Amino acid sequence: MTMIQISPSVLACDFSKLGEEVRSVHEAGADMIHLDVMDGCFVPNISFGLPVIECLRRATDAFFDVHLMIDAPERYIERFAKAGADLISFHLEATEDPAACLRAIRACGKKAALAIKPNTPAEAVYPYLSLCDMILVMTVEPGYGGQALIPSTLDKVATLRRELQARSMYLPIQVDGGINRLTAAAAVRAGADVLVAGSAVFRAADRAAEIRALREV
């Protein structure tokens, strides 16, 4: 049986007390903390960046899963690694040289993940699998929390899991967007094993119970 890991996205938290919010979900059993960086170019929204992650790094020893939704991520990989990321994911659609980005992340001693948007086929990541520590399949259009999961994205998760199995390879597949108690089961059935959840975790009355429920779907 695969272990399911939960990565709460702070995009849904109260940013006026970010440190406490991160500590709260870490103590509630989160396996990692999902930090969504948006540049207003790759996605039509702006979130937060390097200084925020640097400060958070001093506030917790939680594993930082940094999701870069920025154009030309190669410009910033080293700086996010230094700021305290443990894993860096970036978008295939955002760069001309995904292989170089993956290598750059690993050269910083960090885990590297390649992310794809809902309209990018699973096959697009095949040439890079050996350079990846995780694949992120976006289950909504990146940019905003609180959206509904797009069901067809789970077919891509299944396709990717089958391809990995055919290659006798194991890589974690992360899903991000619209994950809740209802959709998590379908995502896991399709082959996902790292679940990002923003609204579901941060809006829950009992965050520990929510994380447990998501993990045990």
Look up tokens 């940094």; give the residue: 66
Q: Which of 31, 36, 65, 193 is catalytic?
A: 36
Which of Zn ion, ligand DX5, none binds 65 (CB below 5-8 Å, type-dependent)? Answer: none
**What distance in Å separates the CA atoms of residue 204 and residue 53, rounded to the nearest whole number?**
24
Catalytic site includes residue 36 = yes
Q: In this structure, are strands 173-176 and 134-138 parallel, antiparallel, or unpaired?
A: parallel
Pick 176 or 193: Cβ nearer Zn ion? 176
Say if CB 174 and CB 7 are below 8 A apart: yes
Strand partners for 137: 116, 175
**What distance in Å separates the CA atoms of residue 1 and residue 73, rounded to the nearest whole number?**
35
Strand partners for 87: 65, 111
Q: Find the binding residues for Zn ion in span 27-86 (CB under 5 A).
A: 36, 67
Q: Which of 39, 65, 176, 193 is catalytic?
A: 176
- Residue 204 corresponds to which tokens in the numbers above? 């829950």
Question: Does residue number 117 form part of the binding site for Zn ion (CB under 5 A)?
Answer: no
Q: How far is the CB of 63 from Zn ion (least distance, A)?
A: 15
Say if CB 121 and CB 157 are below 8 A apart: no
| Residue whose CB is nearest to ligand DX5 in the complex, by number | 198
Question: Does residue number 176 form part of the binding site for Zn ion (CB under 5 A)?
Answer: yes
Residues at the site binding ligand DX5, with contacts judged by CB under 6 A: 9, 11-12, 34, 36, 67, 140, 142-147, 176-179, 196-200
* SS3 state at 55: helix
Pick 147 or 159: Cβ nearer Zn ion? 147
Which of ligand DX5, Zn ion, none binds 11 (CB below 5-8 Å, type-dependent)? Answer: ligand DX5
**What distance in Å separates the CA atoms of residue 178 and residue 140, rounded to the nearest whole number?**
7
Which of ligand DX5, Zn ion, none binds 210 (CB below 5-8 Å, type-dependent)? Answer: none
Residues interacting with Zn ion, by CB under 5 A?
36, 67, 176
Catalytic residue numbers? Answer: 36, 176
